[in-house]
Structure 1
Amino acid sequence: MSRSRLFLITPRSIDLEPFAAELDEALAAGDVASLLVAVETTSEAALQRIAERLVPIAQARGVAAMVRGDSRAAARAKADGLHVDTGIAGITDAVEKFQPKSFVGAGGIKTRDDAMAAGEAGADYLLFGMIDLPEAPEPHRKSIDLGHWWASVFEPPCVVLAGADIESVTDAAGTGAEFVAVRDAVWAHPEGAAAAIRRANLLLDAAATPNGEEDA
């Protein structure tokens, strides 16, 4: 089985400057493919300020950076892409406006029909898992089922959201998804975000090996 890579999602709320330092330390700790800036704020100006601070940190580490739901903030921060989870109309509109210059990711997917519609609209990746909901220790069963189905049938890559326990990365990777999304599992890890990234990568290495054993 091919190895999944990490898709890191920011916390819902942050203290920008301390978090910027924590993010840089986390990204330096191990392989991360992508960062999704998904801080919850009612202010477009605040999201833009956050994106403009965090996107360069990710890109300097070779990590693709996406912004959730705000094309203006994504453009002004020179992000690599836009993440849309407001329905198929929003995905279609974003694909028409921003590809191929920018990636367009699709979230908010609840059913197989939603997934196929997003794929047909041209989304660059599909994320299975509701990032607005509180995270349980384990991945949601529907996210696992959708990820396994999509990864086994369709070509566009998918992302499966792991649970709040870093060990749940193994279950998400077991779907065959190209990417495993982590949020609370990293930012709420008792040993810190960098330790969580290191642990997640060990788990992904093990999940991709035939015997499933971690390297010493």
Structure 2
Amino acid sequence: MTDCQLYLISPLEVSGTFPDRLARALKAGPVTAFQFRVKGLDQHKAAELAAPLQEICAAQDVAFIVNDDVALAKRLGADGVHLGQSDGTVADAREELGREAQIGVTCHNSRHFAMEAGDHGADYVAFGAFHPSSTKDTEHHAELDLLEWWSKIFEIPSVAIGGITPDNCTPIIKAGADFLAVSGAVWSGDEIAAVKAFADKIAAA
């Protein structure tokens, strides 16, 4: 039995029926975290969209993580924030959000970025993309040996991201990823079936 866990990332469109879809997905199988990822909205509108999703996550004991925006994470009292390489420092985020906040850092395919993030107190590092993604342009491609190397040397959990589906996730789990970050594979179809399929693959690995 692996310790790998599912980390859902929102689609860019989270209004309308999306809260219902999120609730169904979280009930379909074990999900550890949900990342709220919207682009180009003012903070007030983003906070409005986030509120019902945050409630659904809290009811299911799922960590609610905000993408890229420390100020929004603070406003919402979110469980944490996910920082890209250009979204400020772990230290600044920690100062704003406190010791309990989960702070993750995108490290692409870079061992250097990952070690730096760890040194600065990140709670997890994200590597990818492992496969071409339908939700994001793929600038960086990560190989499985990066996960193997990280899991052997470091205690800080790793998140694998980028085009991960139930069909291609087994080698990633076996390479040592602590979390599978998935978006398109869940939201582009039946979210209940997708979460169950991921749960089956994680259990089998």
Change (3 A) 1:76 1:144: same
Change (3 A) 1:141 1:172: farther
Once the 2 structures are TM-superposed, how far is the Cα of residue 17 of structure 1 from its aligned partner?
3.2
Q: Which residue of 1 aligns with 2:48?
A: 49
Q: Which residue of 1 aligns with 2:192?
A: 194
Percent of aligned pairs sharing the same letter: 32
For 1:88 and 1:49, locate their aligned partners in 2 and report how far apart those are by CA, in whole Å: 22
Once the 2 structures are TM-superposed, how far is the Cα of residue 180 of structure 1 from its aligned partner?
1.1
Q: Which residue of 1 aligns with 2:20?
A: 21
8 A contact 1:164–1:185 mirrored in 2: yes
Give the alignment of 1:1-216 within 5 angstroms: 2-14=2-14, 16-87=15-86, 89-129=88-128, 134-135=133-134, 142=142, 144-161=144-161, 163-189=163-189, 192-207=190-205
Change (3 A) 1:44 1:66: same
Once the 2 structures are TM-superposed, how far is the Cα of residue 154 of structure 1 from its aligned partner?
0.4
Q: What are the ranges of 5 or more consecutive residues in structure 2 without an aligned counterpart? A: none
Q: What are the ranges of 5 or more consecutive residues in structure 1 without an aligned counterpart? A: 208-216
Once the 2 structures are TM-superposed, how far is the Cα of residue 108 of structure 1 from its aligned partner?
4.3
Please state whether the residue corresponding to 1:65 is helix, strand or coil: strand
For 1:113 and 1:176, locate their aligned partners in 2 and report how far apart those are by CA, in whole Å: 18
Change (3 A) 1:89 1:78: closer
Q: Count how many residue pairs are aligned between Structure 1 and Structure 2.
A: 201
TM-score by length of 1: 0.83
Query: After superposition, what is the alpha-carbon deviation per residue over 1:72-124, rounded to whole angstroms, capped at 9, x for unaligned?
Result: 32223221111111348522321333231311111143411111000000000
Once the 2 structures are TM-superposed, how far is the Cα of residue 173 of structure 1 from its aligned partner?
0.9
Change (3 A) 1:44 1:106: same
For 1:19 and 1:199, locate their aligned partners in 2 and report how far apart those are by CA, in whole Å: 20
RMSD: 2.4
